[in-house]
Amino acid sequence: MNATEASSTRPYLLRALFEWCTDNGFTPHIAVRVDRTVQVPMEFVRNGEIVLNISYDATSGLLIGNEHVEFKARFGGKPREIMVPIANVMAIYARETGQGMAFPPEEGVEAAEVEEALEELVEDDASDDGDSVAEADERVVQLVTAKSDDDEPRTPPPAAPAGGRPALKRVK
């Protein structure tokens, strides 16, 4: 077997980083490129992408297989079955630290194809539920991690003088 016949390393790396996040008490998230092969709630898709919390607390029946990531989760209180082909996973990372790994796009994927598929999915989803995409946009809040501009470690506040009594200050 040569390198071109070997299976993809992506599912193995996903499982390893998922385990690392879980072992360290972090919340694993995956960034997914959405196209017609992905089964996710379309009202939460932004710019052809969706970020999914895949922690054990947020999912039920999580399976990170060699071909798909599958699980059940609640979105807006509604239970949904999620199915993401491994090839569509763009990154996995810990929410708390941002540490993780990004994957290169699969060969043969054209941006125009992704946009066209996304438009079809949004139209189909809007006609099925009766909700318009604009209404869904009003209900969605996107959270982003804020990082400070200074990367230098912060110094702790000065310690109390040695031998002095600790004092409490009342704040009204």
Q: What is the pLDDT of residue 106?
A: 74
Q: What is the pLDDT of residues 65-121, one digit of tens each?
A: 999 999 999 998 899 999 999 999 999 999 999 999 999 887 655 555 555 555 555
**Which residue carries 């209404």 as its tokens?**
135
Local confidence band at 141 (pLDDT 50, 70, 90 cut-offs): very low
Nearest to 34 by CA among 20, 8, 52, 14: 52
- φ, ψ of residue 30 in degrees (nearest 5): -120, 140
- Alpha-carbon gap, residue 100 to 54, rounded angstroms: 14
Q: Are strands 60-64 and 68-75 parallel, antiparallel or unpaired?
A: antiparallel
Under the banding of pLDDT at 50, 70 and 90, the label for residue 132 is very low
For residue 101, what are the contacts with CB-CB under 8 A and spacing of at least 6? Answer: 13, 17, 91, 92, 93
pLDDT of the residue at 136: 41
- pTM, two decimals, is 0.63
Q: Is the pLDDT of residue 126 over 90?
A: no
Q: Is residue 40 within a helix (H) or strand (E), and if so which, with residue range?
A: none
Q: What are the beta bridge partners of residue 30?
A: 52, 92
Starting at the earlier edge strand, list the strands of the sheet with 60-64. Answer: 60-64, 68-75, 78-85
Asked if the model's pLDDT at residue 162 lies above 80, the reply is no
**Domains (range + CATH), the chain:** 10-138 (2.30.30.220)
